[in-house]
Amino acid sequence: MDKFQQTVQRSGLATFAGGCFWCMVKPFDELPGIMSVVSGYTGGHTEDPTYAAVGTETTGHFEAVQITFEPELFPYRRLLDIYWQLIDPTDRGGQFMDRGHSYKTAIFVHNEAQRVEAEASRAALQAEKRFKGPVVTEILPARPFYPAEAEHQDYYKTHPLDYKLYLKGSGRSDFTQHYWQRSGDRERLRSKLSALQFEVTQNKGTEPPFDNAYWNVYRDGIYTDLLNGDPLFSSRDKFDSGTGWPSFTGPLEPGLVRREADLNGGTAQTVLRSRLSGAYIGLLLYDGPEPAKLHYRVNSAALHFIPKEELEANGLQRYLVIFE
């Protein structure tokens, strides 16, 4: 059995309806363990529905995405965590500017384990009292899933301008910012971090060079996101840049490190963030080793180092092969 076949055997399916499926692909796409994200239709009573037919609200179908993933690399509970932050779970009639049954939210579970996790996740969200109204997103048995037409796949890549305009104009991005980046969330985070850690990760601060935890540490191990534990960098990609900050030629998991264009005092630079926590971690420079010359200059205050001998105890045993 080859490596691809082994991967397929270990994979699972997750199906989420969250309003317009154009906006439901990018947040899951290109994460470690995510094999594919397909836009489509499910939950209805007609076979092989089209975009036009579903839009008439007579097919019973939801617009949805179906994700093929490797649970060992990206557990189902983390997919749920992302899903809740993409939707308004209190809306019974659609999502944002899109109204009607086909735009309602739902989690379609493929087995009993997913149902248990989905119900627990929904109950935890309700208990947070993050929203004024009750959480009404349904948890339903998975039904046949029909991929949408080609023009609706990977819309954020094929129509980047339209995608950005729709994301903003629909009210989805403003809703996410309002409910998931609250002042109370920042204060709770402040209470858990040191002053320097908070300043770096939340306010794009920079720690002192040559006076930080990891600038001259070269033990074998993995550097993780201080906030959520995502594996970001390997000691095998670390090099001495002479800058006094931890420096790497590339990320361990590219899908977990996001690049952002930034203007700081009128100077263009590329900012690095941990994709899922949103924490600021450093800058991407272009003065690193040949041939790529990439230099990920990172703040120690944004990282947590796990030595090789502790990887298994921290659920990161899959990376031990790097150090063989």
Q: Which residues are catalytic?
A: 20
Cβ contacts of 253 within 8 Å, gap of 6 or more: 32, 230, 231, 232
Contact 23, 86 (CB under 8 A): yes
Q: How many Cα atoms are found within 13 Å in the side-chain-facing hemisphere of 97? A: 11
186/191 Cα distance (integer angstroms): 9
In 3D space, the residue among 63, 71, 140 whose CA is nearest the CA of residue 109 turns out to be 140
Going by the DSSP 8-state scheme, the letter that residue 32 receives in this structure is T
Going by the DSSP 8-state scheme, the letter that residue 238 receives in this structure is B
Sign of CA pseudo-dihedral 164, 169, 176, 42:
negative
315/324 Cα distance (integer angstroms): 18
314/300 Cα distance (integer angstroms): 19
In 3D space, the residue among 264, 263, 284, 262 whose CA is nearest the CA of residue 272 turns out to be 284
